[in-house]
Amino acid sequence: MNGGNTACLGMSVVLCLAAAGCGYHVAERSNSLPKSIHVIAVPALENKTTSYRIEQRLTTATVHEFLAKTSYRVVPDPANGDAVLRGKVLSVEAVPLLFDTATGRATTMLVTLKCEISFEERETGKILYHTDNFIFRNQYEISTDVNNASSIRNFFEEQDPALDRMAQEFAARLVAAVVENY
């Protein structure tokens, strides 16, 4: 095969793939919620742990995710929603995942969050989504700056942004689970 035929064949393949769309496209999220739901109430999650204000981070992130990724209106009061999302933070665990071989200090922590989640149509009381075991995991790095005398202070300074990231990722997964109902 000469260069011209190869180029022509290559161009034909490209055009065919382009015409067929290659099967790649941005998928719209399926919405299996009843059409009667327009307003979702998201009261503050309950915190059954000793993690200070974790429920506030998760609730705020979940509200933002609903607003950013769906067309539903979100309110805090269950009496004003067509559906109500309730949750309880059952446990939050942080365990060292990776260590610095020179110092023996943890460099990466794994945070595991376990929640109970219930999503109910307010008018009918029908449970649209429920799990006692909604588990979310995320890891984050810890500074190993040996020159800084207070590594505990570093841990807590870095924990806030890490928990915010975790809350955002948790909320994305939760909203997808509730709206897509899988």
What residue spans define the domains of the chain? 30-180
pTM over the 0.85 mark: no
| Average predicted confidence (pLDDT) for the chain | 79
166: alpha, beta or left, given left = phi > 0 and alpha = psi -120 to 50?
Answer: alpha
Q: Hey, what CATH topology would domain 30-180 get?
A: Rossmann fold (3.40.50)
Which H/E stretch holds residue 106? Answer: strand 106-121
What's the N-to-C CA distance of the chain in angstroms? 51
Pair 179, 62: CB distance under 8 Å: no
Distance of CA 174 to the CA centre of its chain: 6
Residues 21-68 pLDDT 10s: 333 333 344 467 899 999 999 999 999 999 888 999 999 999 999 999
Pair 62, 89: CB distance under 8 Å: no
Q: What is the dihedral of CA 119, 94, 55, 83, to 10 degrees?
A: -10
